[in-house]
Amino acid sequence: MTSTPSTAQDEPRGSLGRGFYAALVVSLLVIAALTAVVIQTRGPSATPLVRLTGIPSNISTETANLMALSPIPHRPAPSFTLTDQNAHTFSLSSFRGKTVVLEFMDPHCVDICPLVSQEFVDAYHDLGPAAKNAVFMAVNVNQYFASPASMMSFSRDHGLLGIPSWHFFTGSTDALRRVWAAYGITVEASNPRADIVHTSALYVIDPQGRERFLAMPVVEHHGAKSYLPANVLSTWGHGIAQLVRDVSAPAP
């Protein structure tokens, strides 16, 4: 199964927010051009790195660029109530007081989802004792494999059960589609045997239930095999952990 990065026509948000988010992206680019810090990497042919205003100071510019990280308005994250891999039902609001790291995954994915899983595991270990402040979760994008047992199988196979706060949520097709639409996740699944093509987006939601940051996971392909170097995986994990620390910190 494959994931696709967001484009102008499937940028994360629902139908109401999609045009707003497109305008936001344009605004961020303008702000970057006018006020961002531009860092020239070493070497005569190096590409300048642009740092968007609002990126936490504990995230390096290189990491922010790797993660395609951008701040988003502090508005309430769209609510949902779904069932996790243990067949327990939760609402998003039940995690208030914790920083939520939210992704969208296919339990039959052999492309980007296993790599994001490793990034979550790395982030959990990187956090150490601060992991108590975080909840890691994903929402299923495969309507053909939507049972809690499928969520459990994927979670077990990719080491996610080692994260005490891990939840892989699923539900009815209608319920899942409502969540996809609310977060601007485009899903293409023509039949049960076809690859699931979906937007890959990682949201960081603060303890007050507000969206704070958006990152866009990527993957490299070596032939038919998906791959990311170990240092890229660890950098992603470290970046996620740093975002959790920043968002979890009490307001000054």
pTM of the model: 0.81
Cα 103 from Cα 153, distance rounded (Å): 17
CATH number, domain with residue 142: 3.40.30.10
Residue 25 · residue 33 · CB < 8 Å: no
Between 39-53, 90-104, 223-237, the lowest mean confidence (pLDDT) is in 39-53
Cα 148 from Cα 14, distance rounded (Å): 26
Written as one letter, the residue type at 212 is R
Cα 226 from Cα 105, distance rounded (Å): 15
Cα 123 from Cα 244, distance rounded (Å): 9
| Residue 125: CB atoms within 10 Å | 14
Q: How many domains does the chain have?
A: 1
Q: Which helix (H) or strand (E) holds 3?
A: strand 2-4
The domain of 96 spans 2-248
Query: pLDDT tens for residues 127-171?
Result: 999 999 999 999 999 999 999 999 999 999 999 999 999 999 999
In this prediction, residues 35-46 reach a mean pLDDT of 36
Between 29-33, 175-179, 199-203, 225-229, the lowest mean confidence (pLDDT) is in 29-33
Residue 31: the pLDDT is: 39
Query: pLDDT tens for residues 187-240?
Result: 998 788 777 888 999 999 999 999 999 999 876 544 455 556 778 889 999 999
